[in-house]
Amino acid sequence: MRPETLIPLMVLLPLLAAPAIFALPRRLSEVWAWALFISVLNFAVAVAVVVFAYLPAPGSEVSRLSEGGFFLTGAGWPWLEDFGLRISFGLDAISLWLVVLTALLMPITVLASRTAVTERYREYYMWLLLLEAAMIGTFIATDVIFFYVCFEFTLVPMFFLIGIFGSTQRLKAARVFFLYTFTGSLLMLAGLIYLAYFNAAQDLATAAQTLAELRNIDVSEAQAWLAGQEQAAALGHWTFDIQALTFTAQTLMSPAQQGWLLLALLAGFAVKVPLFPVHTWLPLAHTEAPTAGSVILAGVLLKLGTYGLIRFALPMCPEAVVTFAPYIGVLAVIAILYTALICWVQTDVKRLIAYSSVSHLGFCVLGLFAIDAERHIGQSGAVMYMINHGLSTGALFLCIGMIYERFHTRELAAMSGLGRVMPVWAFFFVLFCLASVGLPGLNGFIGEFLTLVGAFLATDTLGMGFAIAAGFGMILAAIYILYMVGKVIWGPTKVPESHDHNRDAAHAGEAHHGPAVRDLNRREIAVLSPLAALCIFIGLYPFPMLQSLDKPVMTLTRPAAEVVAERADARSEAEREQAARTFEAIERDATREGRR
């Protein structure tokens, strides 16, 4: 079976399984078993794709992963042919790792929500599988509208998951979550359609003309160059292929148009990433979402925003990205410091971690917009950050879910010194906290360190100041994480009382006095141990992932890097002229004095 067919399988499998699960099995254990089977199967397919990725494509001896662009692309099916809409899909290194992350998190969340959800469970697992299908669909899409459809469709299951299975204020949270992201993404759609229109409105003559103006080269040369480019064939008629549109946006759009396109894209993705001013929906959604919901929300949904930024915003509007990078950098730094401080004063554990993921994604965005003429460390760091944040924060939410299952409270004040009572849980919790704070040796460090290096070295767009400010974020992160760990794990043992009486209701014979708290059972260890192992493994040996990311990230950031290089040259020329002028002025004075 050709590897290309594996890719749509990952979407179709959960998509078809979801209604089946909803309809057929009756008992909770059956439904859960089937859901687990489907998600594990999907993970297996994902692993198969990774294996294919590392194998050399027929005819070339180097592994597929090492080519730059989309290495596994399928022809896809025509959807609305006369509008140029096709369901076309393709994987490159970035989307590959994100798909594997999604495929990994899904079985783990299903495994974790065995005891969490006891009523309306068929619906619950249906929505989970639909969510998985939508997410994987977004990552594999190479057609803009297919991407947008999946991007939007992720909202629906999430809305129901929060709305039905959340805690107290779940309806408000679901509503705010849905409307907030939805309005943002509508603007994005507008931008994308404008781009498609712009592309359709071009034909070779006018394209050469605009290119000549933009690059102030003569028309014939622009014509010749355009003829050479194979993506130029897409000019003149309606198409939504990402690469064609990227080519048009890069070459033919004026900086102003690119600015507007960037603003539209930012509107959609900034809300999803939660960048600073538009982040207020996240803490609300997280505290109200069920465990599985917030794991997926933090693990993958937030990455849709950053994935969108690197896939769409960076390559499509390089000029605008370079001009706007410092401002977005400022927003990112504010996000890091502002939310880190907020985390420190939180009383609800889940809200604390929600705010912490806003702070962490601030790092990710900082890395993304650290455009450097020769290096792409920032962007690679950002992609690594996405994956690592998914693992560590997802695991953190799982730990908290386990606490919530036992004590039905998330108040920090209500519990302390659980380390003594639940040592295994404590070990995992401390491990994931340290991973999320970016302790070297664990996976958080890779992303954080590389984004900071990228920000530090991108002197033209960001520079030292941003890295130092973000560095303080690292310290604040240590503060609020240790504040939480100190409260929850260490200190004198205090178990929330609410736990006792409902536990007694469940087990009549339980010794009613004293916290008969169960530590993690085998299932829960099975949930956490793969994530822990991955955290340590990626922390110590990220080499294969980093190696695979090099080329795709370079192809995506190359236009922006070229713009930075051009501007740097222009600046240096201006300086040189300036210096020449002052030199002449000095000479003139000297000669005048000489004459006098």
Partner 1 sequence: MAIGLPRKQESPLAIPPEASFRSACHVAAADRLRVTGCPVCKAAGRVLSSAPNGRRAGTDGGRLSRTTPRFPPLFARQGMGHVSSFSLFAATVLGAIALLMMMPRPGGVALRRIGAVLGAATLGGFWLWLARFLPDLGANATPFAYYYVFSAIAIIGGVRVITHTRPVYSPLWFVMVILASAGLLLVLAAEFIAFALVIIYGGAILVTYVFVIMLASQATEASDDSTAPAYDRIAREPLAATVVGFLLLAMLLHMATIERPSSLERLEDRPEARLRVVADSDSIIELTTLPRRAPARVLERLRPEDREHLAAEFEPASPVKPLAALLSELGDDDEADDGPDADDVATDLLEAWEEAGRTAAEYEDELPHTARRAVAETLLEAVEQRFSAYLDRPLEPAERARLAKAIADHRRVDNIERIGLDLFEGNPLGLELAGVILLVALIGAVLIARQRVTDETGAGG
Partner 2 sequence: MDLNTVKWIPWLPAFSAVVCCVLCMRPAWRRWAAPVTVVAILASFAIAMLAAPQAGNPDIRDDYRTGAYEQQVEGEDGIGQTVTAFRWIHFRDYRNFDSEQEARAYAEAHPGRGEAEPDPQTDDWRVLETTFRADFAYYIDPLTLLMLFVVCGIGALVAIYGAGYMSGEKGYARFFGAVSLFIFAMTTVVMADNLVLLYLGWEMVGLASYLLIGYYYHRPSAVAAAKKAFIVNRIGDLGFALGIFMTFWRYETVIIAEVLQMATSGEHVTDWRDYAIPFLLLMGALGKSAQIPLYMWLPDAMEGPTPVSALIHAATMVTSGVYMIARLTPVFELSPYALPTVATIGGITAAFAATIATCQYDIKRIYAFSTVSQLGYMFMGVGMGLRYAIFGGLFHLLTHAFFKALLFLTSGNVMHGLHGQLDIRKMSGLRKVMPYTCWLMFAGCLSLAAFPFTAAFFSKDAILAGVFERALGYHGTEPSNWFFFLGGLALATAFLTAYYCFRAWFRVFMGPTEYEMGTDHGHDEDAAHGGHEDAHGDDHGHGHGEAHEASWLMLSPLFILAAGALFAGFIGYGIVQELVWSSTAAITMPALVEDTSQLHLTLMVLSGIVAISGISTAAWFHWLRRDAASRIGEKAAPLVRLLHNKYYIDDLCWACIVMPLHSLGKLFFLIDRLVIDGLVALVGLVPRLMGRSVRPSQAGVLQGYGVAMLAGLAVVVAVVMMAVYLT
Contact set with partner 1 (CB under 8 A)? 82-84, 197, 200-201, 237-238
540 interface partner picked from partner 1, partner 2, none, CB below 5 to 8 A per type? partner 2
Gap between the Cα atoms of 573 and 223, Å rounded? 28
Of 380, 388, 451, 548, which lies in the binding site for partner 2, with binding defined by CB under 8 A?
380
Is 329 within 8 Å of 455 (Cβ atoms)?
A: yes
Does 184 bind partner 2 (CB under 8 A)? Our answer is: no
440 interface partner picked from partner 2, partner 1, none, CB below 5 to 8 A per type? partner 2
Gap between the Cα atoms of 35 and 129, Å rounded? 8
**Among the candidate windows 38-46, 49-57, 112-120, 344-352, which touches partner 2 by CB under 8 A?**
344-352
Is 481 within 8 Å of 404 (Cβ atoms)?
A: no
Does 374 bind partner 2 (CB under 8 A)? Our answer is: yes
DSSP state of 299: I
102: three-class secondary structure by DSSP: helix
DSSP state of 2: -
Gap between the Cα atoms of 218 and 212, Å rounded? 6
Does 78 bind partner 2 (CB under 8 A)? Our answer is: no
Gap between the Cα atoms of 308 and 370, Å rounded? 16
- The region, left, alpha or beta by phi > 0 then psi within -120 to 50, assigned to residue 59 is left
Min. distance of Cβ 197 from partner 1 in angstroms? 8
Q: 91 pairs with which residues across the strands? A: 72
Q: 56 pairs with which residues across the strands? A: 63
Does 486 bind partner 2 (CB under 8 A)? Our answer is: yes
Q: 411 pairs with which residues across the strands? A: 348
- The region, left, alpha or beta by phi > 0 then psi within -120 to 50, assigned to residue 236 is left
Does 474 bind partner 2 (CB under 8 A)? Our answer is: yes
C-alpha 403, offset from chain centre? 27
Of 100 and 481, which has the nearer Cβ to partner 2?
481
Is 323 within 8 Å of 457 (Cβ atoms)?
A: no
Of 107, 268, 299, 419, which lies in the binding site for partner 2, with binding defined by CB under 8 A?
419
77 interface partner picked from partner 2, partner 1, none, CB below 5 to 8 A per type? none
Does 212 bind partner 2 (CB under 8 A)? Our answer is: no
Of 153 and 238, which has the nearer Cβ to partner 1?
238
Is 336 within 8 Å of 363 (Cβ atoms)?
A: yes
Of 61 and 82, which has the nearer Cβ to partner 1?
82
**Among the candidate windows 174-182, 213-221, 232-240, 288-296, which touches partner 2 by CB under 8 A?**
174-182
- Token readout for 368 is 């993304």
Of 234 and 431, which has the nearer Cβ to partner 1?
234
Min. distance of Cβ 17 from partner 2 in angstroms? 37
Q: 85 pairs with which residues across the strands? A: 80
Q: Count the residues in the chain.
A: 596
Is 389 within 8 Å of 301 (Cβ atoms)?
A: no
Of 489 and 531, which has the nearer Cβ to partner 2?
489
The C-alpha angle with vertex 94 and arms to 93 and 100, in degrees rounded to 5, equals: 85
Instruction: Return the closest-CA partner of residue 520 out of 166, 125, 112, 117.
Output: 112
Of 57, 176, 193, 525, which lies in the binding site for partner 2, with binding defined by CB under 8 A?
176
Does 185 bind partner 2 (CB under 8 A)? Our answer is: no
Does 277 bind partner 2 (CB under 8 A)? Our answer is: yes
200 interface partner picked from partner 1, partner 2, none, CB below 5 to 8 A per type? partner 1
Q: Largest Cα–Cα distance in the chain?
A: 112
Does 423 bind partner 2 (CB under 8 A)? Our answer is: yes
x/- string (CB under 8 A) for partner 2, residues 526-555? --------------xxxx--xx--x---x-
453 interface partner picked from partner 1, partner 2, none, CB below 5 to 8 A per type? partner 2
Does 222 bind partner 2 (CB under 8 A)? Our answer is: no
Does 457 bind partner 2 (CB under 8 A)? Our answer is: yes
x/- string (CB under 8 A) for partner 2, residues 433-452? -x----xxx---xx--xx-x
Sorted by sequence, the CB contacts under 8 Å of residue 485 that are 6+ apart come out as 429, 430, 433
342: three-class secondary structure by DSSP: helix
- Contacts with partner 2 by CB under 8 A lie at 176, 179-180, 277, 279-280, 338-339, 341-346, 374-377, 380, 417, 419-420, 423, 427, 434, 439-441, 445-446, 449-450, 452-453, 456-457, 467-468, 471-472, 474-476, 478-479, 482-483, 486, 489-493, 540-543, 546-547, 550, 554
